[in-house]
Chains A and B, each alone.
Chain A
Amino acid sequence: MPKLLPAEVSEQIRSLLESMIDPVSIIYFTDHKCSSCLETGQLLEDIAGLNNKISLVVKDFAKDIDAVKQYDIRRIPGFVILDHEQKDRGVRFSGIPAGHEINSFLSALLEMSGVDSELNADILARIKKIAKPIDIKVFVTLSCPHCPGAVQTAHRLAMQNPFIRSEMIEAQTFQEMSRVYKVSGVPKIVINDKYELLGDQPPESFLDLIDKIA
């Protein structure tokens, strides 16, 4: 498949990724034929080719059962970003992070590599205190300019606390799931499959809701 990123955009992204600190790994799960799997794989390949601190490992969703279990991969195309110690810090993307969502993907790469997320000390302390399993799903569309902010916040929470897992879900790719979760406006944030937020909410709103969960 030819490159997806136009040369000019590639250059912008290359320049942006220069501020990466430590290496990161992307573990990408595919069956090479699912809806948007080819494009997602190509996009990840394009991005990984822009900075040698990014390594890309491709796994077969049907065959690499151990990896699917290890990373608790529930749908494809999907990928996990690991830090320099190959540690899974709860960051997931399901569906292609194209359109506006390229921004949350790039932020995740930068922050997983050690670039400061600039969360203030009070917020960081609140995140660190969480001691119960928290699963955050952020439904997005690729044409939504407000969605990357919500995904970025959710992923920041996950990176700071091993109890938190955060997943971007591209609603058009996972239409049945969007229907089940009654998504008709994005970004829609669903926590532990039960509690909902709408819009690009600040970290305080996520934390206020998480605090209410028993």
Chain B
Amino acid sequence: MFHFTVETKKPSPVDEAVYDFIALGGGPAGLNGALYAKRKGLRTAVLAYDLGGQLKNTSSVDNYLGFDNIDAGQLIDRFVSHLGSLDVPLITSVRVAAIEKQGDLFHLRLDSGRVIKTKTLLAALGGSPRKLDVPGEERLGGKGVSYCATCDAPFFKDKHVVVAGGGNSAVESAMDLAKWASHVTIIHRSKFRADQTLLDKLDKIANIDVRLETQILEILGSDHVEAVMIKDKRTETVSSFPADGIFIEIGTIPNTALFIELAHLNESKEIIVDGFQQTSLEGLYAAGDITAQPYRQIIIAAAEGAKAALSASNYLNKKGL
């Protein structure tokens, strides 16, 4: 009950000086980018609404090298504390309204109206939960349809819930929910993509069952979720499957709205980067789930953040900025 994750940091003075490197985003990509940039001697800051990124939506992590099983909040604290040891300013509780490049400088206009300038910028805003895009989902949002198992699991004590998805996040959510719910059913339209180690754990939990090759067509209910309409893809049969809630864990959509005019995006609206995390705009780098790369993993996001910072450092040296 008393798991404290102190995310609000002492407000940093946002002065008029120009930064060398700003990490926009407080997840593993942004934080590791800032760490590497600072170690290279760049004038660095992290700019984020909050710290942790999508790590905040998970309860524990067991695939980050060096930690065989760590509480996600503790991992965030370790990241933040590591940056704190290097005195990297963490400018949090801010939203960026617009980004412009003027000459060699990026101008980041915050919601508050303040402008922060930087020579290089790391886009590391991650992704937001992807929706199923089926009838009933919007209408029953907050009425049994949820995208955050850690947030909403307590409301489903002794109830039957469905988890939509087949990746690590879906399986982890199902395992979190199984501590509260009487029964959890994972429904996924194809085969599992989750790690075998997680599936082995899943097998041992008595109140979780799995329906693969099954598509969710609709979420049903008057003022709260009562059932999901499903189609068994092997038999083509459609049926109503009773449930008190549904947790949707089918991946993310990239938070690229600020970058549409700045950099080239692919058709999934992910930022296209090269092997140096460089985008189509000089001085703008991108890392983590916002980029066009296939694997959404904490360690990959962190590594891309590091690559971006090293590339930014090289760019500044070459340009003599």
Interface, chain A (partner B; CB < 8 A): 4-6, 9, 12-13, 15-16, 18-19, 39, 96, 98-100, 102-103, 106-107, 110, 115-116, 118-121, 141-149, 152, 171-172, 178, 182-186, 188, 196, 198, 202
A6, A100, A121, most chain B CB atoms within 10 A: A100
Q: Are A119 and B154 in contact (CB under 8 A)?
A: no
Chain B 46-74: CB-based contact to A (< 8 A → 1; otherwise 0): 00011010001101000000000000000
In the complex, which residue of chain A has the Cβ closest to the Cβ of B57? A145
Q: Are A103 and B155 in contact (CB under 8 A)?
A: no
Q: Are B142 and A185 in contact (CB under 8 A)?
A: yes
Asked if B101 CB lies within 8 Å of chain A CBs, one says no
Chain B 104-123: CB-based contact to A (< 8 A → 1; otherwise 0): 00000011111000000000
Q: Which of A115, A146, A185, A198 contacts B155 (CB 8 A)?
A: A185
Query: B234: which A residues are within 8 A, CB to CB?
Result: none
Q: Are A184 and B144 in contact (CB under 8 A)?
A: yes
Q: How large is the interface on B (under 10, 10 to 19, 20 to 34, 35 or more residues)?
A: 35 or more
Asked if B151 CB lies within 8 Å of chain A CBs, one says yes
For the complex of A and B, 5 pairs with smallest distance between CB atoms? A145-B56, A144-B151, A185-B142, A198-B142, A118-B112
* Interchain residue pairs with CB less than 8 A apart (22): A13-B6, A16-B8, A39-B2, A98-B1, A99-B1, A102-B4, A103-B7, A118-B94, A118-B111, A118-B112, A119-B112, A141-B154, A143-B150, A145-B148, A146-B151, A171-B154, A184-B152, A184-B155, A184-B156, A185-B148, A186-B151, A198-B142
Q: CA A171 – CA B154 in complex, angstroms?
A: 9
Q: CA A9 – CA B3 in complex, angstroms?
A: 10
B112, B148, B151, most chain A CB atoms within 10 A: B151
Q: Which of A99, A110, A141, A185 contacts B3 (CB 8 A)?
A: A99
Q: Are A99 and B2 in contact (CB under 8 A)?
A: yes
Q: CA A120 – CA B57 in complex, angstroms?
A: 29
Given A102-B4, A146-B148, A182-B143, check contact A19 B10 (CB 8 Å): yes
Given contacts A18-B10, A118-B110, A148-B7, 8 further A-B contacts (CB under 8 A): A99-B2, A100-B7, A143-B59, A144-B148, A149-B49, A172-B154, A182-B143, A185-B146
Interface, chain B (partner A; CB < 8 A): 1-11, 49-50, 52, 56-57, 59, 93-95, 110-114, 141-146, 148, 150-156, 223-224, 245
Q: Which of B7, B8, B141 contacts A185 (CB 8 A)?
A: B141
In the complex, which residue of chain A has the Cβ closest to the Cβ of B58? A145
Q: Which of A102, A107, A182 contacts B223 (CB 8 A)?
A: A182
Q: A interface, by DSSP: helix, strand, loop or mixed?
A: loop
Q: Are B142 and A184 in contact (CB under 8 A)?
A: yes
Chain B: minimal CB distance from A169 (Å): 14
Q: CA A74 – CA B93 in complex, angstroms?
A: 30
Query: B7: which A residues are within 8 A, CB to CB?
Result: 100, 103, 148
Q: Are A107 and B93 in contact (CB under 8 A)?
A: yes
In the complex, which residue of chain A has the Cβ closest to the Cβ of B97? A120
Q: Are B152 and A141 in contact (CB under 8 A)?
A: yes
Q: CA A182 – CA B245 in complex, angstroms?
A: 13
Q: Are A9 and B142 in contact (CB under 8 A)?
A: no
Given A143-B153, A184-B245, check contact A198 B10 (CB 8 Å): no
Q: Are A145 and B52 in contact (CB under 8 A)?
A: yes
Q: Are B8 and A106 in contact (CB under 8 A)?
A: yes
Chain A: minimal CB distance from B245 (Å): 7
Q: Are B111 and A120 in contact (CB under 8 A)?
A: yes
Q: CA A13 – CA B6 in complex, angstroms?
A: 8
Q: Are B151 and A198 in contact (CB under 8 A)?
A: no
Given A141-B151, A185-B152, check contact A5 B142 (CB 8 Å): no
Q: Which of A6, A149, A184, A202 contacts B143 (CB 8 A)?
A: A184
Q: Are A185 and B2 in contact (CB under 8 A)?
A: no
Q: CA A196 – CA B223 in complex, angstroms?
A: 14
Chain B: minimal CB distance from A107 (Å): 6
B1, B11, B56, B223, most chain A CB atoms within 10 A: B1
In the complex, which residue of chain B has the Cβ closest to the Cβ of A12? B6
Q: CA A121 – CA B111 in complex, angstroms?
A: 10
In the complex, which residue of chain B has the Cβ closest to the Cβ of A184? B155
Q: Are B141 and A9 in contact (CB under 8 A)?
A: no
Q: Are A152 and B93 in contact (CB under 8 A)?
A: yes
